[in-house]
Amino acid sequence: MSPRLNSRSQYLTVNHRRYHLRRWGPEDAPLLVLLHGWMDSSATFQFMIDALAGEWQVAAPDWRGFGDSQWNDGGYYFPDYLADLDDLLRQLSPNRPVKLLGHSMGAMIAGVDAGVRPERIEKLVLAEGFGLNPTRPAEAPGRYGRWLRESAQDIRFDTMASLEQPADRLLARNPLLTPERARWLAAALTRPVDGGLVYRADPRHKMVNPVLYRLEEAMACWRRISAPVLWLLGEHPFDHPVVSGVLATLDERRACFAQLSEETIAGAGHMLQWEKPEQMAAEVERFLLRKS
């Protein structure tokens, strides 16, 4: 697969970490910032960017511990990503609010940031990222115990012999992918090592987070968002225990947003930008170009 619009790499110091960004399009075009999800990277927005009809200056970071950005010495915690985004937006657009799109984990970070710094966001797209299951304080002892056990282990990814192995895994999890796109994604998400390939992400992302997700705090941030917001959902719900209870409380979550529109991408699952990038690009541009 050959991209229609090639990206260029940029490295910045973001919140005391070496961050890798991908940039597409002319620097004088309107800025659109894209935030990838868990175990993903900025590269995999490529299909959606190729499908954009207009001319945009696109900037997409690899979050810390993903892609080609610096890894942490220890674990990974949500407030660090929030501080990373705050610093990144300050550098990318110091004088104007930005158009911001986040997918999955990236959307959860973007949604909180847009409530904490509402003046910084012009328009916000949340793609398949409407929060996690609510938690209870009684879960804390078990969560801390599991985290302590995992912290004492040497966590690493297995080495894969060739690109066919990760490509086959992607096709099994995302049957709407073409083999060509699956192989391209497999190359973007892995790096060569002696004996084969490993995923680019820090394997410590696989550790359980000891900090319980507090839905009430996220909702309090969403209520402070002043920008128009677009929810993008896949037609087929994300089948994962981490978000199994989200769909049952979507109406409660919707009610937090003052200016909310919503679109469902027909035929898509969780990975909208992989599976239906043309439809996603059309919905995103329609929303961004709409006069508020």
Q: What is the SS3 assignment for 72?
A: coil
Q: Would you state the pLDDT for residue 248?
A: 84
Q: Would you state the pLDDT for residue 242?
A: 67
Q: Supply the pTM of this predicted model.
A: 0.96
Q: Would you state the pLDDT for residue 240?
A: 67
- Mean pLDDT along residues 58-73: 97
Residue 266 has pLDDT above 80, yes or no: yes
Dump pLDDT digits (tens) for 194-218: 989 999 999 999 999 999 999 999 9
Residue 220, sorted as left (phi over 0), alpha (psi -120 to 50) or beta, turns out to be alpha
Indicate the residue type of 215: L
With pLDDT > 70 as the criterion, what percentage of the chain qualifies?
Answer: 98
- Mean pLDDT along residues 219-237: 95
The count of other CB atoms within 10 Å of the CB of residue 185 is: 26
Query: If pLDDT is split at 50, 70 and 90, which confidence band does 244 have?
Result: low
Q: Would you state the pLDDT for residue 57?
A: 97
Query: If pLDDT is split at 50, 70 and 90, which confidence band does 175 have?
Result: confident
Residue 160 has pLDDT above 90, yes or no: yes
| Nearest CA among 117, 206, 230, 119 for reference residue 158 | 206
